């Protein structure tokens, strides 16, 4: 009764709202006319995983054992591939991959590959100061021949303030204006597109506010997971809602 189709595993909780957003994107990006057309998915969402940025800066507990526990749960439930919808957590993906046979998709590399495929040679990055300093995007982009432009110190402080404001529930026009201004400055430096490199940013910044493409790594990861699992991807269009019949 139980076909051995792919099972998409999601290592989530970093944070939980980003996980909910990622799963919603996975569902809406699936080309489906009924529930049964969608992939089986298992989600381990552990918001108690210690703060990744703090660990990288040597200021907090190593989250790797906690993330490995999640990977083990996903494996036990039959996950045949794993997605991690958190930018910063990708610093730990190599350590996780070494301990599991299920392939872990790499959101940042997938995003850079998309940029390369679109012929973008220079991209702006809006992200936490931690993500910028860790150079996660820069490392992948260098391999793909893509230049990553980040705001100067003053501009980065404004981006970080905006992100913290959004985390506090604030999505006022002032916040959006700060992110638009940061994008405009990156565009003036030569950015052909801008990456929403923190899951908060799309809550206050949308494509219609910008003159250059806004790249959403969470959506890129959703499409990559569907392709890897062999499921058809929906054409661009209104979100599909296939729910309880």
Active site residues: 86, 198
Residue whose structure tokens are 């009764």: 1
Question: Mutual orientation of helices 16-28 and 217-229 as an angle, nearest 10°?
Answer: 50
Site string for a second copy, 146-185 (x = CB under 8 A): --------------------xx-x-x--------------
Q: Which pair of tokens denotes residue 30?
A: 């699936």
User: Between 50 and 144, whose beta carbon lies closer to a second copy?
Assistant: 50
In the list 80, 128, 156, 183, the residue contacting a second copy (rule: CB under 8 A) is 128
Contact status: 21 vs a second copy (CB under 8 A): yes
In the list 27, 112, 179, 226, the residue contacting a second copy (rule: CB under 8 A) is 27
Contact status: 42 vs a second copy (CB under 8 A): yes
| Residues in contact with 123: Cβ distance below 8 Å, sequence separation at least 6, in sequence order | 115, 141, 146, 147, 148, 149, 191, 192, 193, 194, 195, 215
Q: Which pair of tokens denotes residue 66?
A: 């906690």
Q: How far, in whole angstroms, is CA 158 from its chain's centroid?
A: 21
Phi and psi dihedrals of 171, rounded to 5?
-125, 45
In the list 103, 148, 203, 233, the residue contacting a second copy (rule: CB under 8 A) is 203
In the list 6, 82, 87, 136, the residue contacting a second copy (rule: CB under 8 A) is 87
Question: What Cα–Cα distance (Å) separates residue 145 from each residue in 99, 107, 117, 140, 192?
Answer: 30, 17, 11, 9, 14
Nearest distance in Å: CB 188, a second copy: 28
Residues near a second copy (CB under 8 A): 1-3, 5, 13-21, 23-24, 26-28, 30, 35-53, 65-66, 69, 73, 76-77, 85-89, 128, 130, 166-167, 169, 171, 198-200, 203, 237-245
């Amino acid at each position: 009764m139980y076909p051995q189709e792919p099972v998409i595993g999601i290592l989530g909780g970093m944070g939980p709202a980003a996980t909910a957003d990622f799963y919603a994107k996975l569902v809406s990006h699936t080309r489906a006319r009924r529930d049964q057309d969608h992939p089986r998915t298992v989600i381990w969402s552990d918001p108690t995983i210690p703060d990744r940025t703090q660990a990288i800066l040597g200021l907090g507990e190593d989250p790797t054992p906690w993330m490995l526990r999640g990977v083990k749960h996903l494996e036990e439930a039959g996950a045949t591939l794993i997605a991690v919808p958190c930018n910063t957590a990708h610093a730990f993906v190599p350590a996780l991959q070494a301990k599991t046979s299920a392939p872990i998709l790499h959101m940042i590399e997938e995003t850079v590959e998309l940029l390369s495929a679109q012929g973008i040679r220079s991209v702006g990055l809006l992200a936490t100061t931690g993500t910028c300093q860790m150079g996660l995007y820069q490392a992948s982009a260098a391999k793909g021949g893509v230049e990553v432009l980040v705001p100067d110190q003053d501009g980065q402080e404004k981006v970080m303030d905006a992100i913290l404001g959004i985390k506090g529930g604030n999505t006022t026009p002032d916040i959006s204006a700060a992110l638009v201004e940061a994008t405009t400055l990156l565009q003036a430096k030569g950015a052909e597109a801008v990456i929403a490199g923190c899951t908060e940013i799309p809550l206050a910044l949308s494509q219609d506010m910008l003159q250059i493409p806004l790249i959403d790594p969470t959506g890129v990861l959703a499409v990559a997971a569907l392709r890897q699992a062999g499921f058809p991807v929906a054409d661009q269009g209104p979100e599909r809602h296939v729910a309880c019949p």
